[in-house]
Amino acid sequence: MSTHAPEDLAAVLAAYATHLRAERNRSENTVKAYCADVRDLLTTTVPADEDGTLDLGVLGLADLRAWQNAAAADHGRSTLARRAASARSFTSWAHRTGRIDADPGLRLVGPKRDRHLPRVLAQSQVRQALEPAVRARRDLDDPVALRDGAVLEFLYSTGCRVAELTALDVADLDRENGSARVLGKGARERTVPLGRPALQALDAWLGHGRPQLAGPDSADALFLGVQGRRLDQRQVRTVVNRAVAAVPGAPHTSPHGLRHAAATHMLDGRADLRSVQELLGHATLSTTQIYTHVSVERLRSAHRQAHPRA
């Protein structure tokens, strides 16, 4: 028998979201994705009583499998793997908190995530995408161009995630040591080095661009929109998409694509895997190893140097 008081869907999701944030240290993007999956799961498989409360005890393994199978035709392996992870996380939490008597998610198996990367920008393509940033630093008269240049240089120099970039405050920069403090997934803090072009772009933005956009709502946010508020992730995606779209032959690229490019180009330059792991903020080395699969030039070079019949 469930030992928990009856709850409606909103109350269940609110409690689960609090668990993800407070106990699991999940990022806000993960919380939103997991809660969206669980909302879909519960509205599909658990009927509400007349007063809106849910009897989570009716949720079984067959329901989880049917819910997952219904999505198989419309979603890729990565999405299906995340849905399975969401369901397992939810049923585990519901069991521990007395909302259900047994955990049906223990036996739910999802597909393995795709372990491949999209096409990665070549170094020459990155240089072309960043050329407007270089011009903006010479002219110093367009605050938005200075900001966009600093955003692009920072993303490529550090390989940071877009959520990490938009959360940055001015105080997170250490100009003297050429680094920045970044808060990553699971509230893990790391320090990332900044290359000379990134430092120059940040200096131009802070000295000439940011003061023109700053307003009452700016607080200490490092990157600002034209309204003076903290730059959001959608705006950063627009900045990256616009810069890369201007490069002939370049693949469609998101901010995460610049992260892929930074990691791949470091490996091409003979960086060791552990250093790239630390730069990207990966919790495990296995996550970073995916980038070795696309570092073709490094592999070819090693093959030419070492193979007896190269």
Catalytic residues: 161, 185, 256, 259, 282, 291
Tell me how far CA of residue 243 lies from CA of 239, 240, 255, 258, in angstroms.
Answer: 6, 5, 11, 11
Q: Describe the strand order of the beta sheet including 179-183 as a list of residue ranges.
A: 173-174, 179-183, 189-193
Cα(25)–Cα(296) distance, rounded to whole angstroms? Answer: 36
> Across the strands, what pairs with 169?
221
CB 120 within 8 A of CB 264: yes
Report phi then psi at 10, rounded to 5.
-60, -40
Cα(261)–Cα(239) distance, rounded to whole angstroms? Answer: 16
Cα(308)–Cα(297) distance, rounded to whole angstroms? Answer: 18
Token digits of residue 95? 């069991």
- SS3 at position 258: helix
Of 203, 216, 214, which is closest to residue 146 (Cα–Cα)? 203
Of 106, 202, 86, which is closest to residue 149 (Cα–Cα)? 202
Token digits of residue 100? 């259900």
Cα(197)–Cα(127) distance, rounded to whole angstroms? Answer: 11
